[in-house]
Amino acid sequence: MKAMVMTKICDLRQERTPLEFIDVPKPTPREGEVLLKVLACGVCHTELDEVEGRMPPPRLPIILGHQVVGRVEEIDRGTARIKVGDRVGVAWIFSACGRCTFCLSGQENLCPDFRGTGRDADGGYAEYMTVREDFAYAIPGVFTDVEAAPLLCAGAIGCRSLKLAGLKDGQNLGLTGFGASGHLVLLMVRHRYPNTKVYVFARAEKERVFARELGAVWAGGTEDLSPEKLEAIIDTTPVWKPVVEALKNLASGGRLVINAIRKEEGDKDCLLELDYPAHLWMEKEIRSVANVTRADVAEFLELAAEIPLKPEVEVYPLEEANKALLEIKERKIRGAKVLRIG
């Protein structure tokens, strides 16, 4: 089968084609697994972090991709819920142990043996992949393949972030960064919290324009002060500066939720600018989001179909995965980027 394979860690400013378009053996499902013919796979900033070594996979070579939509082509013994021909999705959570305290309490996202799709196991930048049946999700028929793909990560993690923010209808919400996850959160808020006003902070003017088009009442730069204080802010950036700036706009008793799998070291000095009275006093709270659970993904897919929530997508063929990653690096983003494979 054809796949875009990561064989080395490199800087995209110097190596613009980090993934190789090559033939690799077609995987065979083991007990309890299904074989998927991949139809589409979203491209995420996390894959950029893997390629550039900020979050290196534990082994190379590896096939990236954790927003996968595929058609079940083969099942092994031990599967019962999924049938050949079903269209299913695979998210960031590839597997968890199922036995630890976290798994047994519904927090499998915190499992010490959590495995990420496309990091700890081969993902969806390929014509085929395998996954355990109980970590695959039925895709609602209202979505096309490329519409469904971003929902499996950007949407699911955005939904979890919104849940952790504790937002109530009528309270003000801020979004720092406005890519795949941010734009889906805004669309969710418009449906679930009709009286809530959304304020967007983004460094690129085209992102601010996009936010206003989708219903943000205000969009400014990362360091701007919002017209009103915000009861909750969700940060989706990979850097620290927006966190410091966001705290200035947070209302007393407000909560800042950091929706990022990592933060870059380059701007860490800005944390020295933290001023306790201005940034943290008055019972302001900071909380991080770690991975997703299967329940998060299933809940969000149901909500997205109910709305229905159709993400803005830019589509590329599989062999142009390098181009999609480079455009994320260069901040050429409008919505979500998706590889069409089937």
Average pLDDT estimate for 274-280: 86
**Same domain for 271 and 321:** no
How do 87-90 and 137-138 pair as beta strands?
antiparallel
**Same domain for 182 and 215:** yes
Residues spanned by the domain of 334: 2-139+312-340
**Same domain for 159 and 129:** no
**Same domain for 81 and 200:** no
| Total of domains in the chain | 2
- For residue 78, pLDDT over 70 is answered with no
Tell me the pLDDT band of 270, cut-offs 50, 70 and 90.
confident
**Same domain for 98 and 51:** yes
- For residue 96, pLDDT over 80 is answered with yes
**Same domain for 80 and 109:** yes
Sequence-distant (≥ 6) Cβ neighbours of residue 265 within 8 angstroms: none
For the chain, percent of residues with pLDDT exceeding 90: 81
What's 202's domain CATH number? Answer: 3.40.50.720
Distance CA 324, CA 75 (A): 32
Written as one letter, the residue type at 44 is C
- For residue 143, pLDDT over 80 is answered with yes
**Same domain for 165 and 115:** no
pLDDT in tens, 286-314: 999 999 999 999 999 999 999 998 888 99
pLDDT in tens, 246-265: 999 999 999 999 998 888 77
Q: Which of 71, 88, 48, 86 is nearest to 127 (CA)?
A: 71
**Same domain for 213 and 106:** no
Among 273, 288, 303, the domain-final residue is 288
Q: Which of 335, 342, 280, 283 is nearest to 312 (CA)?
A: 335
**Same domain for 135 and 7:** yes
Please check whether residue 303 lies inside any domain of the structure: no
Q: Is-cis flag, bond preceding 61, omega within 30?
A: yes
**Same domain for 162 and 135:** no
**Same domain for 225 and 102:** no
Distance CA 148, CA 301 (A): 9
Three-class secondary structure of residue 9 per DSSP: coil
pTM: 0.91
What's 59's domain CATH number? Answer: 3.90.180.10
